[in-house]
Amino acid sequence: MKKIKVLVVDDSAFMRKLLREILSSDPDIEVIDVARNGKEAVEKVNLLDPDVVTMDVEMPVMTGIQAVEAIMKQKPTPIIMVSAYTVENASITFEALDRGALDFITKPGGPISIRLKDVKEKIIEKVKAVSHVNVKALRPPLKRRETLEALPGDMDKLVVIASSTGGPKALSYIIPRLPGDIRAGILVVQHMPEGFTKPFAERLDKLSKLTVKEAEEGERISSSVVYIAPSGYHMKIGEEWIINLTKDAPMHGVRPAADITMLSAASVSGKRTIGVVLTGMGKDGSMGVREIKARGGVVIAQDKKTSVIFGMPKAAIDTGCVDEILPLEDIPEGIVNMVAVK
């Protein structure tokens, strides 16, 4: 089997050594070289043609963000950002995702205590996941749409969006294009490390006409508000549309899991539920869309061409419960139209 070729980029000699050791411990991965800054990274991507790049955020000469932008213009390559666990770095990391980076991991150590074994497993898992992504989907959508206008319809619809790898960028396209007076509450389950969902919600809030926030225990869902499930918590919907955050066991190896949110939302909202499954590996959301359809709701899945990883949308489509398969650029309009149906 051909090994996955990885280029490690970090200005810290310790981190370069650590990441090389972690990745090289897996027989399917080969670290072909390292780079000390963004400029070296761009040069070595063009020279060595790696399958995956792990990219530090803050570096001298050329930052990680600048390097991501240059690589996406010259030789689009799957990039995983390696970010320190801080609010400031979270903001920078999301900017890198906007420029084309696929995913991110938190650095071992730093201001929080992370067990090296957990970090090791996550790094290897993410590198393997993105090594065969749809590179064409890393480019921005061809069509650019302004914020849509709300259409007449029920104000009590509930939209549940599931996303994973490639999801932050997809959500950063979809949410800002939804109208500020859309007559639905919107729940988002994005697989993301702990501590990053709140900065992500704040970033989307600044970009959007909708109110976007990290979900809180016991709050009632309101129309025209987007609730991001906090990392480390499942988000369930109870009677009277009350949000309940739980530390129940992970599902599909993740917490939050979109299936849990979709199942509870469908049980409360029935035919008023709209499911949306975006890019990501695995099958999270496939159980939820079955329940949504069984109770008379409707489902959208992102198409293969615009999905960075088609795993989650494909699993949803394979259930036979998806009503529309749409490219990323058409999903905002698809949501608005489904909300308008009485």
List active site positions: 164, 191, 284
Among residues 2, 93, 86, 90, the alpha carbon closest in space to that of 54 is found at 93
Around Cβ 220, how many Cβ atoms within 10 Å? 10
Counted residue by residue, the chain has a size of: 342
In whole angstroms, what is the distance from residue 303 CA to residue 321 CA? 15
In whole angstroms, what is the distance from residue 210 CA to residue 184 CA? 11
| Beta carbons of 326 and 171 less than 8 angstroms apart | no
Q: Which two tokens stand for residue 142?
A: 């061809």
The DSSP code for 170 is H
| C-alpha to C-alpha distances, 179 to 162, 205, 208, nearest whole angstrom | 20, 13, 8
The contacts of residue 201 (CB under 8 Å, 6+ apart) are 212, 213, 214, 226, 228
Around Cβ 5, how many Cβ atoms within 10 Å? 17
Q: Which two tokens stand for residue 109?
A: 């150590």
In whole angstroms, what is the distance from residue 106 CA to residue 339 CA? 37
ω before 76 within 30° of 0 (cis)? no
In whole angstroms, what is the distance from residue 264 CA to residue 256 CA? 13
